[in-house]
Amino acid sequence: MRNLWIRAGALVEGLRGYHFELRHLTVLLIVLILFQLILSFVQRNSIAGFLSETQNMYQQDAADRLANLTATSLELIVESSPAEPGRSGRERSKIIRAFNILFSQQSLQQNVEELCLLVDRDSTVVVVDDGRTLYSVLFEAGEGDGPGGGLHATAARLYDSLRSEMRSSEQIRTVVEKGQTFHTLVPFVPRGEYMGALYMRNTPDLAMISRDVVASYGRTSAAYFVLILFGVIAMYYVSSYTLRERNEAQQMLFEEQKRRLAEQIKVQNELLFTKRIYHAHHKAEKVMGFIKDDLRQLTAANIGPIRERISKYASFIARVIYDMKWYDPPLQTIRGPLFSTQVNDTIRFIVDNIFRRVARGEEGPRFTLDLDEALPPVAVNEFVVWEVLEPLIQNSLEHGGNDNVLVTIRTAWDASAGRGMIQISDRGRGIETWLLERDTEGVRQIFREHTSTKKTAEGQQSGYGCYLAYEIARQRCGWEIDAENAPEGGSRFTITFSTGAKGG
């Protein structure tokens, strides 16, 4: 019982979560109308069949009773008449008149079409349909073919086929013709002696009663159907009006949610753009410091390498300023056949002129470069590659666990597969396990915005460098990027790319 209640509750909860629409009510209305029509049709046919069976039973019973009553009346007249042959003419006329009255009265019945008495006479059958002939046959031993003998040939043939059976059983026999006409034979046994049979052809007509009953039911059913139809239509109108109001309210709510979502996305994009500008400004500020330092150290002897380095710095600052103008820069400014960047050269420049320049001396971080010179150039803007690699290297330095961390940068080229690889690893404490978990979209948490173990002064998580590197590498360059902890210890970032149409 408890399980039944639980299932019922689950069904109700499931129905609650389903929103009925106008089309559902329309289908329900059509189904109810069809069911009502089918029910009315079935009930009408059932009543018509019941009336037909009842009518057949009643008609046969009525025909048997009427024929039996007529035969019994004839037998009573015969038995009440004097048995001696010497009767006066008056008594003879009285008996004949009684026979004629009986024949004529039964013939006047609405449904009686034929009435006669079939009397056995040796091997023949005498057909009698009037009082005088019947008197002659019964009391005067007349031959009595009867004046109507030719009119009752069907009755004579039917009796002749059933005579032996009726003589032995003395039971009423009824033959039904076409379901409407009843040929009834009743044994004629005056004074206990079997003499023949009374034949009556009867066609009872009760169709009027059946038509009236069916018509009455039809009117009742029509009235009932109309009432139900009006009720269902009223419910349909009220429900459709309610659903229309609900749909309008849902549409208004949807539009409001759409507007709020658009505003929220706009605010988030502006916030993201602001953070990216701040992040780029921080990088540009650091590079500007390098430019000022180079200008202070400029001499005639070192003008060549310093000029080349300052040119790189200036191009990077120009790229940073360009990024500040666009939330989503055009694709042709990021990758395309116009670009040909040597990844190994970019890695060397970043390491030598950014990270090693910041941390001078033996106490600073150490770098090991294992670069595959067979790595072909990539069709990506050099300073976009810079924007991808710089935050990943910075993450290894900041989360390595010590100031003297060893960072290894390795590149490799698989000519058969046409794929290149950049790997940045360190010998630090590694990445925390929860940062390597993937979300529902398959992205590791370390590449999500605001996800970091590093705290700012206000206590807010930053988590922007790896996120920015992932977005640029994955969404703009079409590169694959992943993070893991190396078996020998420390973290490892791996970037894979191809030289195909993706431009990476």
Q: Is 203 helix (H, G, I), strand (E, B) or coil?
A: coil
Domain for residue 225, yes or no? no
More confident residue, 454 or 283: 283
CB 102 within 8 A of CB 70: yes
Mean pLDDT of 153-181: 83
The C-alpha atoms of residue 420 and residue 379 are separated, in whole angstroms, by 13
CATH code of the domain covering residue 351: 3.30.565.10
Token pair 């009391």 is found at 139
The whole-model pTM stands at 0.49
Question: Which of residues 205, 221, 256 is at a domain's end?
Answer: 205
Angle between helices 89-107 and 22-80 (to 10 degrees): 170
Residues 225-236 pLDDT 10s: 777 777 777 777
Tell whether 50 and 195 lie within a shared domain. yes
Domain for residue 237, yes or no? no
* pLDDT above 90 (res 363): no
Residues 77-94 pLDDT 10s: 777 776 555 566 777 788
Element (H, E) at 346: helix 343-350
CB 112 within 8 A of CB 201: yes
Residue 463 structure tokens? 């988590």
- Give residue 453's pLDDT: 60
Question: Which of residues 160, 181, 205 is at a domain's end?
Answer: 205
Residue 447 structure tokens? 């590449």
| Enclosing domain of residue 336 | 331-498
Strand pairing class (406-414; 366-370): parallel
Mean pLDDT of 315-338: 78
Domain for residue 15, yes or no? no
Phi, psi of 221 (to 5 degrees): -65, -40
Domain for residue 314, yes or no? no
Stretch among 151-155, 359-363, 500-504 having the lowest mean pLDDT: 500-504
CB 503 within 8 A of CB 378: yes
Q: Is 272 helix (H, G, I), strand (E, B) or coil?
A: helix
* Torsion angle, alpha carbons of 15, 18, 24, 28, to 10: 0
Domain for residue 250, yes or no? no
Angle at the Cα of 89 from the Cα atoms of 88 and 95, rounded to 5 degrees: 95
Mean pLDDT of 490-496: 93
* Torsion angle, alpha carbons of 295, 297, 301, 306, to 10: -50
Q: What secondary structure letter does DSSP report for 292?
A: H
* pLDDT above 60 (res 401): yes
Confidence category of residue 322, pLDDT binned at 50, 70, 90: confident
* Burial of 88 (C-beta count, 10 Å sphere; 0-12/13-18/19+): exposed
Percent of the chain with pLDDT over 90: 11
Question: Which of residues 154, 176, 205 is at a domain's end?
Answer: 205
Tell whether 341 and 488 lie within a shared domain. yes
Neighbours of 67 (CB within 10 A): 26
Altogether, the residues listed in the chain come to a count of: 504
Q: How many domains does the chain have?
A: 2
CATH code of the domain covering residue 128: 3.30.450
For residue 183, which of 153, 149, 146 has the smallest C-alpha distance?
A: 153
- Give residue 458's pLDDT: 45
Domain for residue 315, yes or no? no
- Give residue 495's pLDDT: 95
* pLDDT above 90 (res 396): no
Q: Bridge partners of 409?
A: 369, 424
**Chain mean pLDDT for the chain:** 79
Domain for residue 466, yes or no? yes
The C-alpha atoms of residue 395 and residue 398 are separated, in whole angstroms, by 5
Residues 424-435 pLDDT 10s: 999 888 888 898
Domain for residue 247, yes or no? no
CB 358 within 8 A of CB 319: no
- Give residue 374's pLDDT: 93
CA dist 221 → 208, 227, 283 (Å): 19, 10, 88
Q: Is 183 helix (H, G, I), strand (E, B) or coil?
A: strand
Percent of the chain with pLDDT over 70: 79
Residues 436-478 pLDDT 10s: 898 888 888 888 876 666 554 443 445 577 888 888 888 888 8
Question: Where are the strands (E) in 415-490, listed by range?
Answer: 419-426, 480-485
Confidence category of residue 2, pLDDT binned at 50, 70, 90: low
